[in-house]
Amino acid sequence: MKELGRYQQVNGLEGIEAYSLALFTRVLGMSVEEAQIFFAGVRRELTDRSIHSYVKYYFVYGQKGE
């Protein structure tokens, strides 16, 4: 579980901008610089070991019919 948590942390740290930048700039009206500053705070909290967050994941898979 700890190893899975580390993978999830890396995924969150590397993907925060990719998932959020368009929303923050287009919808919320922030400038790119303001969003970058906000993401820096998010990254700091993601690496804070005193915060224990839990997230549900759903995995869906399928097989191609013959």
* 54 Cβ neighbours under 8 A, 6+ residues apart: none
- 37 HSE (CA, 13 A, CB side): 5
Banded pLDDT at 33 (limits 50, 70, 90): very high
Higher-confidence position of 59 and 28: 28
The pTM (predicted TM-score) of the whole model is: 0.71
Higher-confidence position of 49 and 28: 28
Asked if pLDDT for residue 56 goes beyond 90, the answer is no
Question: pLDDT exceeding 90 applies to what percent of the chain?
Answer: 62
For residue range 11-31, list pLDDT tens digits in order.
989 999 999 999 999 999 999
Domain residue ranges of the chain, discontinuous segments joined by +: 2-46
